[in-house]
């Protein structure tokens, strides 16, 4: 006990010394942000990377916004269309400019956002602003280009769904959700992808709705000053007109019993995934930070469960899990890859027993302190370049619109108590919120 207490104290001193510089903020660099009159947020984080800057535009629109029937996958498809040119710069001219910038540039889409990013020469920041402003405001593509691009999306689907795990995920989400748009994956249902070429008119509507300043945040990390970034934002986005559309995202009804999704496949090891309905991300409520701490204690490679199932008994190749950060309530998933399909039920029971053990007995104070230390040092070790910092801040901008959420979240980790861990177990780890997903050579999953 004394040793435990000592560990707690030493860790607290180390963490205070390592992270205490910016008034207890996990991010040791100042976040400058300012909202423009049209609602567009502008964020700058100066970072000592001479000559190098990461320039991101985060659009808070993703597959979550695909509320109408038959248009799943559209946010992602639209991301592709953003490379198809404007009146000022044709698609080929845009490509040539990108090439001249010599930047690592790309885009990607997830549930809650579409992100466009360029990391490169900080001296070329103004050109980056100019071309991005041009396409965000004046995108203009032909119906033929639209139909052509749909083929590339189909190619992407072909490639990304080759794995049985991707197929199971598609099926699992469809099973776990009834109404909410998290029911479908970001790439969308295949029949909707095949139909995409017929949705030209809808694509124009999509652009009008979401490619608006109130949905967008500009984020620059690296060799740039906030003054410079504000000035460029005003110059290139200042008179961009605010929109008015707000998507009516369906609220997911309460689940009432355990659900099952199974994918029959003998080509990969037996796979078990327990998916519980969890909360939405919040940097105010204790639920999500408590779940992060809990998942690290229960399912990381140092957990008792991992030691037992993976290292000692060698019944699982891997086990891991956690709550998914998202704007609306989403899933807490625990996954295990097994050696023998006969152990599916055993592994499930062991996971539940590990959860129940914390429910009954709590956890030691020193384990709690070590877990908080792990979360903080893991973050600190990861932010060693502008792109990594921008990527992390983009995540929190997506969730709340405010990059300071990262600092608030890590401050909340400090407050998580053993009672909080028990509270989130009682609240979320319930059979009526569970969807069990499995892969095995059998026609049914066979897990109760």
According to CB under 8 A, which residues from 195 to 234 bind other proteins? Answer: 197-198
If binding is defined by CB under 8 A, does position 339 make contact with other proteins? yes
Among 56, 83, 182, 281, interactor with other proteins by CB under 8 A: 83
Sequence-distant (≥ 6) Cβ neighbours of residue 246 within 8 angstroms? none
> How many of the chain's residues bind other proteins (CB under 8 A)?
79
Q: 301-330: which residues touch other proteins (CB under 8 A)? A: 301-302, 307, 310-312, 314, 317
CB 190, min distance to other proteins, A? 9
Q: Of 66-74, 93-101, 172-180, 409-417, which part binds other proteins (CB under 8 A)?
A: 93-101
CB of 347 to other proteins, least distance (A): 15
Task: Please identify, using beta-carbon distances, which residue of 151 and 253 lies nearer to other proteins.
Answer: 151
CB atoms within 10 A of CB 308: 17
Restricted to residues 256-295, the positions that interact with other proteins (CB under 8 A) are 265, 267-269
Residue 90: is it exposed, middle or buried by C-beta count within 10 angstroms (0-12/13-18/19+)? Answer: middle
Q: For residue 101, give every residue at least 6 positions away whose Cβ sits within 8 Å of its Cβ, in sequence order, or none.
A: 118, 120, 121, 124, 127, 128
Stretch of 91-99, 226-234, 237-245, 280-288 contacting other proteins, by CB under 8 A: 91-99
d(CA 401, CA 390): 14
Residue whose CB is less far from other proteins, 40 or 393: 393
Residue in 90, 110, 140, 161 binding other proteins, rule: CB under 8 A:
161
Sites for other proteins among residues 233-262 (CB under 8 A): none
Instruction: Lay out the site mask for other proteins across 162-181 (x = CB under 8 A, - = otherwise).
Output: xxxx----------------
**Cα R_g (the chain), whole angstroms:** 23
Asked if 237 and 215 touch (Cβ cutoff 8 Å), the reply is no
How many C-beta atoms surround the C-beta of residue 298 within 10 A? 23
Q: In this complex, which beta carbon is closest to other proteins, that of residue 161 or of residue 282? A: 161
Please identify, using beta-carbon distances, which residue of 121 and 282 lies nearer to other proteins: 121
Q: 149: buried, middle or exposed (CB in 10 Å: 19+, 13-18, 0-12)?
A: buried
* Residue among 92 and 248 whose Cβ is closer to other proteins: 92
Distance in Å, CB of 243 to other proteins, minimum: 28
127/209 with CB nearer other proteins: 127
With respect to other proteins, which residue has the nearer C-beta, 170 or 252?
170
Residue list 94-113, contact with other proteins (CB under 8 A):
95-96, 98-104, 106
Q: Which of 5, 6, 9, 194 binds other proteins (CB under 8 A)?
A: 194
**CB of residue 192 vs other proteins: minimum separation in angstroms?**
13
Sites for other proteins among residues 367-426 (CB under 8 A): 369-371, 373-378, 380-381, 384-388
* Binding characters for other proteins, 116-155, by CB under 8 A (x = yes): ---xxx--------------------xxx--xxxxxx-xx
**Binding flag, residue 5, other proteins (CB under 8 A):** no
Closest CB 27 distance from other proteins, rounded Å: 13
> Closest CB to other proteins among 38 and 161?
161
**Nearer to other proteins (CB atom), residue 130 or residue 328:** 130
Q: Does 14 bind other proteins (CB under 8 A)?
A: yes
């Amino acid at each position: 006990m004394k040793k435990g207490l000592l560990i707690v104290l030493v860790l607290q001193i180390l963490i205070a010394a390592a992270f205490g510089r910016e008034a207890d903020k996990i991010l040791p660099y100042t976040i400058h942000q300012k909202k423009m009159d049209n609602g567009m947020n502008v964020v700058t984080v100066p970072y000592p990377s001479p000559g190098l800057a990461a320039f991101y535009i985060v659009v808070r629109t993703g597959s979550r916004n695909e509320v109408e029937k038959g248009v799943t996958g559209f946010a992602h498809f639209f991301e592709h269309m953003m490379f198809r040119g404007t009146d000022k710069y044709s698609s080929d001219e845009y490509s040539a400019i990108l090439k001249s910038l010599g930047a690592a540039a790309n885009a990607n889409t997830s549930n809650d956002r579409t992100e466009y990013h360029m990391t490169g020469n900080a001296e070329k920041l103004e050109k980056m602003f100019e071309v991005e402003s041009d396409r965000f405001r004046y995108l203009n593509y032909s119906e033929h280009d639209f139909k052509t691009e749909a083929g590339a999306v189909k190619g992407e689907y072909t490639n990304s769904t080759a794995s049985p795990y991707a197929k199971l995920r598609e099926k699992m989400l469809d099973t776990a959700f009834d109404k909410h748009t998290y029911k479908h994956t970001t790439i969308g249902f295949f029949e909707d992808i095949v139909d995409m070429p017929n949705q030209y008119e809808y694509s124009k509507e999509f652009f009008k709705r979401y490619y608006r300043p109130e949905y967008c945040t500009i984020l620059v990390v690296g060799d740039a000053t906030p003054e410079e970034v504000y000035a460029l934002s005003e110059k290139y986005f200042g008179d961009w007109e605010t929109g008015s559309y707000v998507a009516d995202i369906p609220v997911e009804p309460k689940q009432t019993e355990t659900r099952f999704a199974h994918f029959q496949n003998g080509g990969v090891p037996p796979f078990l995934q327990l998916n519980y309905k969890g909360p939405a991300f919040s940097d105010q409520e204790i639920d999500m930070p408590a779940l992060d701490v809990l998942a690290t204690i229960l399912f990381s490679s140092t957990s008792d469960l991992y030691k037992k199932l993976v290292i000692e008994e060698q019944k699982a190749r891997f086990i891991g899990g956690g709550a998914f950060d998202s704007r609306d309530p989403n899933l807490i998933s625990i996954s295990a890859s097994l050696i023998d399909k006969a152990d599916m039920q055993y592994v499930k029971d062991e996971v539940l027993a590990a959860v129940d053990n914390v429910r009954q007995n709590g956890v030691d104070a020193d384990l709690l302190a070590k877990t908080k230390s792990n979360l903080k040092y893991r973050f600190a070790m990861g932010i060693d370049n502008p792109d990594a910092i921008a990527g992390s801040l983009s995540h929190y901008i997506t969730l709340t619109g405010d990059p300071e959420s990262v600092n608030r979240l890590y401050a909340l980790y400090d407050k998580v108590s053993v009672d909080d861990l028990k509270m989130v177990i009682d609240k979320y780890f319930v059979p009526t919120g569970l969807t069990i997903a499995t892969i095995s050579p059998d026609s049914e999953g066979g897990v109760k």
